[in-house]
């Protein structure tokens, strides 16, 4: 395999070089189907073994969730809590127990029950649930390891500077790893929106995912190069490859150091234009790291964590406490609260909604809020209460398609505001093409816009944002998307309204100059991206960005746009 280059997908940017540390799956086929001793299986003792293993897995995942909450934020913690719940799911216990009673070993019973559980999830059309099948398989691996007397989540032995190579990796495992020792990640599975990718980006670990089966011929300790920016993995690189990888690692380290030194600088272009750089958060635990990374405000607070996946609705008081915590932590900086963006990929058991044929086009987000108005008004009240004092709260409505929706929401907002002295601005997300096309009319109705490029790309190109098979068609740089962004920013500018971008594109340094040139005045992103985006702003005169945007708008394909950006960035790389 010497000198082989494997192509996968970008999980997390950056370059790493180091010895392979291979984590092979606990081969489920190797799990004994009958008692090893040759004696008949004793159901009682197998059940006891299984329960002990499940207990260890449960405790491990609880610890991991706690650690995740501290080092990565509530969203990551929730992933692990959900996995812990899978391990202790009574349904799983019943499935395993029945098989043990029929003479299977705990291992064999676990293997079959987990496979059925995961297969049932894989068969569900909802891509969100489909992705959870991987989480179930990971829990299955943890149970099998625990049954073998090993750590449910391994890796204590990770050597310093290693590149971890595995077929799959539980998000929990990445949390457990010593970041100082882990140089990079190469995985057979996973896509750009998988949990592991999000976590790798949060922790700044270069990662390539979706490589397919690649472990068979790989030996422990082989030198591996991971180019997370290009999505390439080098196995035992040739002398030439090694040289350029070493240079890339050096450049990457230098880039990180340079970026870290920009934390306290405002993002001002060489011709003196300030582009506000905000952070997206998923809960109160994310604010501190956002501010530490230099965020000037919170451009998107995804409040859904208070409601998604829960059996009961959050009360006004509970919401108030959460919102207050966030506002207190943000000080005088703006915090944009997005009202519940639920439905679609974010199911809400508390609402008992029936399954839909097209959840992304269905009963979701503001549509639910305008139908179940108590949900929206309770949230308005909780935000208004929290905003009293010297805070800077803004309120944003997701998934707006029409002017009428905005008017209805505004009327509810006016009612909710009675008796409050604070008046948070009310804005909308532009994430449905119709809203972008009608931005001029919408701008008259609202105080600000924030462009949700994740959904805008999905709806413009009719490409499910979660479907890994369609990754190549999911093109944020498609000229059609850029025209919609331009129309939106123009409409906002003409009426003196603020216009941000809070989708993933806002945190992509490749898109920074373009978005600046298209006319947006704020970018909101994962805190980890703030430094790289700021560096772009510092290098990009607004006048040049305008020219780039004009060129991009005249392109026919996303590939042409990317090419124009590459040329532009190369020419501006040393400025600033």
Nearer residue to Mg ion within complex by CB, 76 or 431: 431
Residues binding Mg ion: what is the number (CB under 5 A)?
A: 3
Is residue 502 a contact residue for ligand PEP (CB under 6 A)? yes
Is residue 433 a contact residue for Mg ion (CB under 5 A)? no
Is residue 105 a contact residue for ligand PEP (CB under 6 A)? no
Least spacing, CB of residue 340 vs ligand PEP, in Å: 11
Binding test (CB under 6 A) with ligand PEP, winner from 503, 507, 509, 531: 503
Stretch that binds ligand PEP, among 98-106, 156-164, 291-299, 446-454 (CB under 6 A): 446-454
Nearer residue to ligand PEP within complex by CB, 341 or 405: 341
- Residue from 504, 455, 464, 509 nearest 484 by CA: 455
Residues binding ligand PEP: what is the number (CB under 6 A)?
A: 10
In a 13 Å sphere around the CA of 482, the CA atoms on its Cβ side amount to 28
Nearer residue to Mg ion within complex by CB, 276 or 455: 455
Q: How far apart are CA 455 and CA 448, in angstroms?
A: 18
Footprint of ligand PEP on residues 378-437 (CB under 6 A)? 431
Q: How far apart are CA 156 and CA 450, in angstroms?
A: 44
Stretch that binds Mg ion, among 203-211, 445-453, 481-489, 557-565 (CB under 5 A): 445-453
Is residue 452 a contact residue for Mg ion (CB under 5 A)? yes
> By the 8 A CB rule, do 311 and 305 touch?
no
Least spacing, CB of residue 453 vs Mg ion, in Å: 9
**Binding-site string for ligand PEP from residue 319 to residue 348, where x marks contact by CB under 6 A and - marks none:** ----------------------x-------
Q: How far apart are CA 516 and CA 535, in angstroms?
A: 13
Binding test (CB under 5 A) with Mg ion, winner from 138, 455, 468, 551: 455
- Calculate the CA 205 to chain-centre distance: 14
Stretch that binds ligand PEP, among 174-182, 186-194, 453-461, 538-546 (CB under 6 A): 453-461
SS3 category, 523: strand
187 sits in which H/E element? strand 182-187
Q: How far apart are CA 421 and CA 35, in angstroms?
A: 72
Select from Mg ion, ligand PEP, none the partner in contact with residue 453, using the beta carbon and a kind-dependent cut-off of 5 to 8 Å: ligand PEP
Stretch that binds ligand PEP, among 112-120, 172-180, 381-389, 451-459 (CB under 6 A): 451-459
Torsion sign, CA atoms 38, 43, 48, 54: positive
SS3 category, 165: strand
Which residues in 312-408 belong to E strands, given as ranges?
Answer: 334-338, 392-397
> By the 8 A CB rule, do 430 and 450 touch?
yes
Q: How far apart are CA 206 and CA 191, in angstroms?
A: 14
Is residue 75 a contact residue for ligand PEP (CB under 6 A)? no
Active site residues: 195, 502
Binding test (CB under 6 A) with ligand PEP, winner from 284, 452, 476, 517: 452
**Other CB atoms within 10 Å distance of the CB of residue 371:** 10
450 sits in which H/E element? strand 448-451
Select from ligand PEP, Mg ion, none the partner in contact with residue 276, using the beta carbon and a kind-dependent cut-off of 5 to 8 Å: none
Binding test (CB under 6 A) with ligand PEP, winner from 438, 453, 475, 512: 453
Least spacing, CB of residue 458 vs ligand PEP, in Å: 8
Stretch that binds Mg ion, among 48-56, 152-160, 455-463, 504-512 (CB under 5 A): 455-463
SS3 category, 298: strand
Nearer residue to Mg ion within complex by CB, 138 or 431: 431
Which residues in 199-356 belong to E strands, given as ranges?
Answer: 207-209, 223-227, 232-235, 276-281, 298-302, 334-338
Interface ranges with ligand PEP (CB under 6 A)? 300, 302, 341, 431, 452-455, 502-503
């Amino acid at each position: 395999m010497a000198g082989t280059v494997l192509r996968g997908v970008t999980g997390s940017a950056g370059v790493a070089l180091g010895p392979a540390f291979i984590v092979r799956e606990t081969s489920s086929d190797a799990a004994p189907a009958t008692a090893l001793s040759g004696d008949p299986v004793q159901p009682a003792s197998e059940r006891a073994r299984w329960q002990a293993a499940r207990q260890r897995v449960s405790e491990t995942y609880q610890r991991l969730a706690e650690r995740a909450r501290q080092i990565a934020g509530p969203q990551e913690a929730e992933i692990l809590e959900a996995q812990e719940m899978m391990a202790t799911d009574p349904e799983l216990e019943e499935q395993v127990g029945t098989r043990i009673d029929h003479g299977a070993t705990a291992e064999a019973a676990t293997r079959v029950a987990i496979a059925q559980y995961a297969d049932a999830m894989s068969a569900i059309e909802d891509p969100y649930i489909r992705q959870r099948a991987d989480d179930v398989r990971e829990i299955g691996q943890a149970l099998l390891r625990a049954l073998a007397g090993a750590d449910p989540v391994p890796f204590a032995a990770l050597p310093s500077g290693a590149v971890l190579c595995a077929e799959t990796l539980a998000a929990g495992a990445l949390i457990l790893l010593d970041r100082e020792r882990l140089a990079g990640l190469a995985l057979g599975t996973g896509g750009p929106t998988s949990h592991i990718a999000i976590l790798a980006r949060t922790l700044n670990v270069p990662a390539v995912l979706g490589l397919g089966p690649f472990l068979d011929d790989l030996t422990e300790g082989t030198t591996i190069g991971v180019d997370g920016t290009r999505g390439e993995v080098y196995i035992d690189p040739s002398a030439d490859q090694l040289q350029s990888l070493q240079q890339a690692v050096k450049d990457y380290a230098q880039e990180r150091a340079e970026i870290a030194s920009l934390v306290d600088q405002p993002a001002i272009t060489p011709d003196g234009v300030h582009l506000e750089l905000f952070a997206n958060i998923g809960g109160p635990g994310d604010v501190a790291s956002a501010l530490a990374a230099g965020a000037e405000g919170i451009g998107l607070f995804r409040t859904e964590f208070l409601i998604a996946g829960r059996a009961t609705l959050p009360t006004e008081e509970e919401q108030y406490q959460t919102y207050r915590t966030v506002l207190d932590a943000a000080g005088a900086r703006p915090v944009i609260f997005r009202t519940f963006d639920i439905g679609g990929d974010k199911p809400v058991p508390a609402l008992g909604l029936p399954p839909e044929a097209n959840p992304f086009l269905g009963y979701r987000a503001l549509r639910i809020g305008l139908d179940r108005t108590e949900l929206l008004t309770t949230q308005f009240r909780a935000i208004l209460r929290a905003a009293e004092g010297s805070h800077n709260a803004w309120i944003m409505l997701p998934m707006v398609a029409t002017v009428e929706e905005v008017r209805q929401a505004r009327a509810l907002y006016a009612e909710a505001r009675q008796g409050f002295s604070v008046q948070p601005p009310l804005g909308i997300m532009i994430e449905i093409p119709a809203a972008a096309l009608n931005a001029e009319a919408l701008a008259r109705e609202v105080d600000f816009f924030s462009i949700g490029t994740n959904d805008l790309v999905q709806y413009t190109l009719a490409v499910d944002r979660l479907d890994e098979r369609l990754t190549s068609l999911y093109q944020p740089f498609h000229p059609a998307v850029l025209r919609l962004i331009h129309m939106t920013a123009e409409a906002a500018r003409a009426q003196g309204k603020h216009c941000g971008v809070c989708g993933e594109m806002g945190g992509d340094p490749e898109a920074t100059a373009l978005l600046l040139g298209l006319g947006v005045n704020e970018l909101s992103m994962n805190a980890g991206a703030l430094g790289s985006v700021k560096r772009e702003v510092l290098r990009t005169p607004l006048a040049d960005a305008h020219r780039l945007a004009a060129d991009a708008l005249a392109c026919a394909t996303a590939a042409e746009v990317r090419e124009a950006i590459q040329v532009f960035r190369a020419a501006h790389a040393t400025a600033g």
